[in-house]
Structure 1
Amino acid sequence: MGGNHAKVLMTDAGYRNALAALQSLGRRGIPVVMAGPDSRGYAFHSRYCRGLGVYTHPARSVEGFVRDLIRLLRLGSCEVLIPISMNSTIPVSLYKNRLLKYAKVPVADYKVVEMAQDKMKTLKVAEEIGIPTPKTITPEGLREVKRIAKDLDYPVVIKTRRGAGSLRDVRKANTPKELIQKYAELESLSNATSNYLLEDYRRPMIQEYVPGEIYDVCVLFNEGEARAALAQRRVITFPLGGGFGIVNETVRDFRLI
């Protein structure tokens, strides 16, 4: 069936990009076992899915998630582990050395992944290599926000340093009053989570809002060597005016890649 290909364990069966990755590998004859935090994922129903497994959601318990991955790797005799979402990639990267005892893990070391996950560290790297970045401040707390709110240019964007960029993690404010209200809402979420590895609502960032089209660049590297690259334009975002893309269009623009 799979020839001499190594069997893969892939996470996040409920993600559309996981389904696309499964189909791509499946067409090449690579056997893939899909896993997710529940049994409702799209990819479980694909003809290319050679097996399925359920793990503890990493937001609930990172340690439980890693233990479950090890169990599934051993149970399915899988030789490669491919995490899909950021919520899976981050703990896999952090516990990479532990997981390498059971399978190959094509994920960067945590110190590299963290630079992409922590938005302030990403901005610092961008500034160091000369890439323009939005004006950004990180207030000490709500009291400082109230003090500076009237001095800012609007609209502004309030976002967490760590998070997947969901509606829960990002807010837009058009007035000082909105800024204070939405900053307080975001900061209050820090009391509802103790998993600061994946989401950190303490001291949210405030950034200038940059209007215009949003483009994303996705690149696959192997030990620093680029193997594949894709650029896309967010045609329709949710919410409108800036958010995650619900309709995206691939583009050929070598200025971006």
Structure 2
Amino acid sequence: MNILLTSVGRRSYLVDYFLEAVLDTDQIHCCNSEYTTSVARGDGYFLSPLIYSPDYVDSIIRYCKERDITAVLSLFDIDLLVLSKNEQKFKNNGIELILAPYESVYLCNDKWKTFEFLKEVGLKTPRTYLSVGDALQAIESSELEYPLVIKPRWGMASMGLYFADNENELKVLFEKSKKDVFSSYLKYESELTKESSIIIQEKLIGAEYGVDVVNTLDSEYFETLAKQKVTMRAGE
């Protein structure tokens, strides 16, 4: 199996993991919208259009067909929505996306939808609000208290993430987070919910754990890996 890793960025260590894991007869190819040392570490690479370019998906499919690549895996959250939306197009060209279905990707990338889903299935989740007014009303009714977390609804890598200890900070940092969003690559997905692009959440204090659920390519459960987060850098 030859695999294409998309949006590799500067994640050379992830490219190396794949190179070490595959058989000698397999190849790992990379693509990115700009040249980095990571993109050239694989067995082949190309520079792709930007993720939201009209030719982005077609450029990946063309490269895969030229190099006998049968599977595509993204290393970047922003990539997932675009790729999963075109899953059938990849299948029609004999290419498998190692990726969740579009509906699941959308639900996980949209933090408000995630909050609603967790409530619906009965899992505890931080209280979450879409506006400063709603958060202030919750504070007034003693449903919520400072400090509060302010972050992009479609965020990643800790971009636009702030903590507010009072009403003045809440109002200022809410607008600051919005400005951060629409002056970065987060603006593309945030356009889907432009009028409610920032969320406010209660801050939970305690040990933080990450849980990875691993499935087979046939969507069958395989394993769960849990780990305590010791430190975070740019969301990793």
What TM-score does the superposition give when structure 1 sets the normalisation length?
Answer: 0.76
Unaligned runs of 5+ in 1: 1-5, 246-257
Residues 130-149 of structure 1: matches in 2 within 5 Å? 130-139=122-131, 144=133, 148=137
* Conserved 8 A contact 2:135-2:200: no
Query: What do residues 127-156 of structure 1 show as CA deviations (whole Å, max 9, x unaligned)?
Result: 2222111111112xx6x3796497351110
Change in CA separation of 1:77 and 1:197 when aligned onto 2, cut-off 3 Å: farther
In structure 1, the residue matched to 2:116 is: 124
Partner of 1:249: none
> Paired residue for 2:222?
227
Q: Measured at CA, do residues 87 and 96 of structure 1 come closer, stay the same or move farther in structure 2, by a change above 3 Å?
A: same
Corresponding residue of 1:250: none
Describe how 1:202-221 pairs up with structure 2 within 5 A: 202-203=195-196, 204-221=198-215
Conserved in 1, the CA contact under 8 Å of 2:147 and 2:166? yes
- Are residues 85 and 198 of structure 1, via their aligned partners in 2, closer, same or farther at CA, if it must alter by over 3 Å? farther
Q: Is the 1:18–1:43 Cα contact (8 Å) retained in structure 2?
A: no
CA deviation digits over 1:233-257, x for unaligned, max 9? 211234xxxx734xxxxxxxxxxxx
Q: Report deviation, 1:219.
A: 1.6
Amino acid at match of 2:202: E
> Are the aligned partners of 2:160 and 2:181 in contact in 1 as well (CA < 8 Å)?
no
1:138-194 deviation per Cα after TM superposition (whole angstroms, max 9, x unaligned): 12xx6x379649735111001222122x23232211221111111011223465465
- The AA in structure 2 aligned to 1:56 is P
Deviation at 1:71, TM superposition (A): 2.4
User: Structure 1's 147 and 228: CA in aligned 2 closer, same or farther, altered over 3 A?
Assistant: closer
SS of the residue 2:55 aligns to: helix
Q: Residue 8 of structure 1 corresponds to which residue in structure 2?
A: 3
Match of 1:31 among 22, 27, 49: 27
Per the TM alignment, residue 198 of structure 1 is displaced from its structure 2 partner at its CA by 8.3
With over 3 angstroms needed to count, the CA separation of the structure-2 counterparts of 1:64 and 1:94, relative to structure 1, is same
Per the alignment, residue 94 of structure 1 pairs with 85
CA contact (8 A) 1:12 1:35 kept: yes
Instruction: Give deviations 1:88-133, integer Å, cap 9, x for gaps.
Output: 2221101111122221222222112111111122122212222111
**Partner Cα distance (1:50, 1:114) in 2:** 32
- Aligned match of 2:189: 196
Tell me the SS of whatever aligns to 1:131: coil
- Deviation of 1:196 (Å): 2.4
Shift of 1:224: 3.6
Matched-pair identity in %: 19
The aligned amino acid for 1:12 is S
Equivalent position amino acid for 2:28 in 1: V
Aligned length: 227
Q: Which residue of 1 aligns with 2:47?
A: 54
- Using the TM superposition, give the Cα deviation of residue 29 of structure 1 relative to its aligned residue in structure 2, in angstroms: 4.5
Q: TM-score, structure 2 length as denominator? A: 0.82
**Structure possessing the higher relative contact order (Cα contacts under 8 Å, 6 or more residues apart):** 2
Does the 8 Å contact 2:39/2:45 carry over to 1? no
Matched, 1:107 2:103: no
Say which of 38, 43, 49 aligns to 1:42. 38
1:127, 1:201 → 2: CA distance? 23
Does the 8 A contact of 2:84 with 2:105 survive in 1?
yes
Q: Which moved more, 1:125-134 or 1:146-155?
A: 146-155
Distance 2:112 2:75 in 1: 23
